[in-house]
Amino acid sequence: EVQLVESGGGVVQPGGSLRLLCAASGFTFDDYTMHWVRHAPGKSLEWVSLISWDGKSAYYGDFVRGRFTISRDNSKNSLYLQMNSLKIEDTALYYCAKDMGDYLYMDVWGKGTTVTVSS
């Protein structure tokens, strides 16, 4: 069974940092592009970032502005999102999602991990 399990969320003060982890199983992880998507309370889904299968290419939403870094360790079937300089508006449920192939749609989603930025 294809499975994505996120962890690493929590409560952090504005300006703080968090590192999210997504553990993948049930598929050949290094064959696929991977995404982070977030869902803030009362808002729509918002794409955060993607990373290519080999980790050599990464893209971000404009709102990231150099604050987040996506990475992966294919030897550990793991995806990461390092989030620095967090803002209150980064408060959301963060999903890890598998791309169907290369830069397509998301066919499998994790259950998400909650990030709360509050003073």
By beta-carbon proximity to other proteins, the closer residue of 105 and 119 is 105
118 binds other proteins (CB under 8 A): no
Q: Which of 24, 83, 106, 115 binds other proteins (CB under 8 A)?
A: 106
107 binds other proteins (CB under 8 A): yes
Q: Is the dihedral of CA 82, 66, 58, 33 positive or negative?
A: positive
Secondary structure (H, E, C), the chain: CCEEEEECCEEECCCCCEEEEEEEECCCHHHCCEEEEEECCCCCEEEEEEECCCCCCEEECHHHCCCEEEEEEHHHCEEEEEECCCCHHHCEEEEEEEECCCCCCEEEECCCEEEEECC
Q: Is 111 in the site for other proteins (CB under 8 A)?
A: yes
| Shortest Cβ 14–other proteins spacing (Å) | 24
Q: In whole angstroms, how close is the CB of 67 to other proteins at the nearest point?
A: 15
Binding mask 55-94 for other proteins (x = CB under 8 A): ----xxxx--------------------------------
Q: Which residues are at the interface with other proteins (CB under 8 A)? A: 35, 37, 44-47, 50, 59-62, 95, 100, 103-112
